[in-house]
Amino acid sequence: MAANSTVIYRKDYTPPSHNIDSVNLVFDLIPTKTRVTSTLKITPRPGRRSDALELNGENLRIDSIRINGEPALSDQYDMFPGRLVFRSIAKPTEIEIVTTINPQENLQLSGLYMSKGNFITQCEAEGFRRITYFPDRPDVLSKYSVELHAPKDCKVLLSNGNLIEEGELPDGRRYAKWEDPFLKPSYLFALVAGDFVANEESITLADKRQALLQVWVEPGNDNKTAHAMESLKKAIKWDEKKYGLELDLDRFMIVATDDFNMGAMENKGLNIFNSRCVLADENVATDTDFTQIQATIGHEYFHNWTGDRVTCRDWFQLSLKEGLTVFREQEFSGDQLATESAKVVQRLKNVRALKAFQFPEDAGPMAHPVRPESYTEINNFYTMTVYEKGAEVVRMYQTLFGEEGFKKGLQEYIRRHDGSAATCDDFLNAMADANNADLSQFALWYSQAGTPRVSIKTEWNEQRNELTVRARQVLRTFPGQPKPKPMLIPLAIGILDDKGKDVPLQLVDETEPQGTTRVLRLTQEEQSWTFTNIIRQPTLSVGRGFSAPVIFDIDYSRDQLIFLAKNDSDLFNRAIAFEKLSLIAVDTLMNEMRTQKNDSNLSPMTSYLTTFQEILEDDSLSPAYRAEVLKLPSETAVAEQSIIVEPELIRSALALMQKKIGQRLTSTLEKWMKLCETIGPYKCTPELAGKRALRHLMLEYLVASGNVKAVQQARTLFDKGNNLTDKLSGLRTIALSGTPIGRELIQTAVRAWSNEPLLFNKVLQIYALARPSKGDIPTVEKMRQMMFNQAFDIKNPNNVFSLLRTFFQNGGPEFHTLDGTGYQLWIDTVLEIDKFNPQVAARLGRALENWRRYEPNLASMMYKALSYVSAQNNLSNDLREIVDKALYEPV
């Protein structure tokens, strides 16, 4: 680690020495020299270890310090790198600190910075210390009053809470005063000043109060805010109805900006969003975008209670707010869908993302528990483990206690901790007490890293009509750590008879059946359950609805998987069975390619294609469900199943499988393309979006088969589609097929859309994934060319993530080149970006962290690339932690 890196441990937590009862902030907003006057009213806490008060600060120039109205003396405080320490604050004290900062040069986009001439803040996790000196930790909760002074071209001046006063200063500048009536930590502070326009609407809350909702955007984007406003209203109503949680402010504001490191930020009452998570119409947003915008707006609003009103005590508890709120977001999104089939589509997408990205994280050098025990740079722990696995941990409470039990637990948690900073243990204890349950074993989900594996075996005693289910949990032991303890794992199971019907589930010691889906509690290393009245040949359906974030090892035959894919009443497990069939088919093709042997007797394609066609023709399933189920596994998903990752082989096997499906099912695919055609003006409804998704999938298979007519249909979608979903699908299908016209269409899209950031970023993603055709220059060279495009800005995170992160994560053999040029591009861009935005550099840096799993030649080059970056001086702590863990952390 770097010399200035400090490892912070959860076990070392100590409460703050002082309360900051109130904070008054006055900002004189000037792009190159903003003056910040901070007045803190401080009260020492009983039982404190010391009278010294430590404040955090970074890149600040101190202009003056006053204590109780008098200039501070040099013997009253000490300055250290990143810290201002007052030697003794033993009684209630007022401290005024005046600092100067330079927002225009703040390219980290953390603290106060400029975006297109507008002032924006981002304070989570430790950005507030880049604004003024403060105890910048989440367990210091204060009431904030804010006064903003700005040039008159800053037409809008916003901060948290309620607007108290606004007007014009004697010198012609504008001012506004805001007060937040609720206690909050510094990471939830927000400020926005500049040229914005609002879509605003007043609504009546459940308690009959009126609230003003505002979506603030740059001029010219106000016609793209209707969906965001509707999403916000839906989220407010949903939280009122679902959990009895109401909006607690007179107004709630959303601001959209292009320059933002994250997707969005839940600052109390003033949510700041990356513009891609707000702006939408049929010309700049796809069906997926509309759905994701609704989810993201819901997520940030739900933080109002699970994150703002109750915040986390320290950053080790990050999943307390993020995992919980991701779960609430997922429940909200599901409740907006009309059919069970549509809800399962959302669940499938969430779980597939978890398996593709979080499971490898659990198996790699960045593996950590949902509640980490230590960190060097907190920004590196905004991970899939904390968010998505954390959400699955929260979901398990609902699986164990049901929706009503979960609601009781959540309400008890808020009742106990409203207005305070809590821990994961606090949430667990509220759930346990509300449901009169012992959750001491369940607490291991917060402290043990890694993905549990659960092996399942069944034994049917035909004479006794009994089926015994045996489960064994296998937990990863980390080097230097004690052997993990058995966890409480909820296993939702069903049993199908040989006709595909669910069997009523009755344990041998029960007097009657208890439904057709049961949640078993696996609490021991090995455990078994015996069910009676199993008269016909049974097939077990295990982990229904993905009841726990584990890997199930169950030795299904191909015929059993086909049976489940056709018959399982649990639509999630039905999809997973077909996914396993797909992976078996891909693996078989990969083995044939390795041995250069094509044994048709071993090929699973015939039975696979029959099952594929039966699912496609099943009208009881929604088009959206069929589109999701019938997609081939991603290259990432195949790599996750592989012992040794071979990018070129994976790409070739998937391409061949696509081609076989397209060639052998041509007439069926063409039929469903026609049946799923949507006529008339664009509408983003679940039904129409599902039809578009299925139609586009059919087209992908046909184009992959070399069907000339299909290639022309894809081009027509791009040229003449009346919505972005169709246009991008046509472009992406051709670009990923390696068809020569792909180069021409991408260049057309770049020229046409480079002036619209939302569209340009989408083109960048397709550009990064495009397959080369004969005569193309190497993809790595094309990537470097795009970085010189005048529309591309390496200082803009959206541009960087769209082009570079997409390429590094999903570029396959075009990134993992045998000559190492892909890794050289990674080195060059990561080091360049680290100079001004360490958070973005660290996220790119993670592309090579699982290098050990790749075939030896690639692994060797990846190791050398990581070593080269690690050897550089002056790396940020963010990037240093990533590359050094990748190199040296045992896995």
Q: How far is CA 462 from the centre of its chain?
A: 47
Residue 179 is among the residues annotated as catalytic for this protein: no
Structure tokens at 3: 């010399």
Cα(296)–Cα(264) distance, integer angstroms: 8
The single-letter DSSP state of residue 354 is I
Determine the distance from the C-alpha atom of residue 150 to the mean position of all C-alpha atoms in its chain, rounded to a whole number. Answer: 35
Helix (H) or strand (E) holding 200, with range, is strand 197-204
Write the DSSP symbol of residue 355: I
Q: Is the dihedral of CA 7, 13, 15, 19 positive or negative?
A: positive
Catalytic, out of 300, 361, 377, 388: 300
CA distance 44 to 51: 7
Residue 6 burial by Cβ neighbours in a 10 Å radius (0-12, 13-18, 19+):
exposed
Residues 6+ apart with CB under 8 A from 595: none
Closest CA to 257 of 174, 188, 308, 193: 193
Other Cβ atoms within 10 Å of 873 Cβ, number: 6
The H helix count followed by the E strand count for the chain is 28, 31
Q: What is the DSSP string of 140-174?
A: --BEEEEEEEE-TT--EEEESSEEEEEEE-TTS-E
Check if the beta carbon of residue 599 is closer than 8 Å to that of residue 318.
no
Q: Which helix (H) or strand (E) holds 316?
A: none
DSSP 748-785: HHHHHHTTSHHHHHHHHHHHHHPPP-TTPPPHHHHHHH
Here the tokens at position 44 are 């020492």
Could you list the beta-strand ranges (E) of 476-591: 489-496, 518-522, 526-532, 539-542, 551-554
Residues 6+ apart with CB under 8 A from 75: 87
Under DSSP, is residue 691 helix (H, G, I), strand (E, B) or coil? helix
Structure token digits, residue 428: 């667990």
How many residues can be counted in the chain? 891
Distance CA 849, CA 859 (A): 10
* CA-CA-CA-CA torsion sign (227, 232, 235, 241): negative
Q: CA distances (Å), 672 to each of 579, 613, 701, in order?
A: 21, 11, 12
Edge-to-edge strands, sheet with 518-522 = 518-522, 489-496, 539-542
Rounded CA Rg of the chain? 28
Which residues are paired to 213 by β-bridges? 201, 252
201 and 226 Cβ atoms separated by less than 8 Å: no
Pairwise CA distance, residues 577 & 564, whole Å:
6
Report the 10 Å Cβ neighbour count for 200: 14
| Cα–Cα dist 597/600, whole Å | 9
Q: Across the beta sheet with 210-217, what order do the strands follow?
A: 197-204, 210-217, 251-257, 270-274, 264-265
Q: Which residue has the tokens 């569209």?
A: 759
Assess contact for 184 and 144: CB atoms under 8 A: yes
3-state secondary structure of 503: coil
CA atoms within 13 A on the CB side of 551: 19
Residue 100 tokens read as 């100067």
Catalytic residue ranges: 300
